[in-house]
Amino acid sequence: MTVDEYNDCVDAHADGLYRFMLKQVRDVEKARDLVQESFAKMWLKVEEIDPSKAKSYLFSTGYHTIIDQIRREKKQGN
């Protein structure tokens, strides 16, 4: 995936990913942070990602980012 393809992916899927995150965590700020973290994780692997699978990769990464956040919060609460 090139930088331009990554930027197109951000433009095309940021809103959808945000709505997905917001529905899961029900906290606006947390959802924004999780979206940003998901795109950062995607950026780290940008050269390995097939552009035709970018949306799938992004939403999978987003889902795992939510799970990681929940686990961190549980660990801090205990």
What 18-27 contacts at long range (C-beta under 8 Å, 24+ apart), as own/partner pairs, is 20/59, 20/62, 21/62, 21/66, 24/66, 25/66, 25/69
What is the pLDDT, as a whole number, of residue 43?
Answer: 94
Model pTM?
0.87
Burial of 22 (0-12, 13-18, 19+ CB in 10 A): middle
Predicted pLDDT at 78: 56
Tens-place pLDDT, residues 12-57: 999 999 999 999 999 999 999 999 999 999 999 999 999 999 999 9
Burial of 75 (C-beta count, 10 Å sphere; 0-12/13-18/19+): exposed
Question: What does the pLDDT average to over 64-72?
Answer: 93
Instruction: Examine the pLDDT at 77 and tell me if it is beyond 90.
Output: no
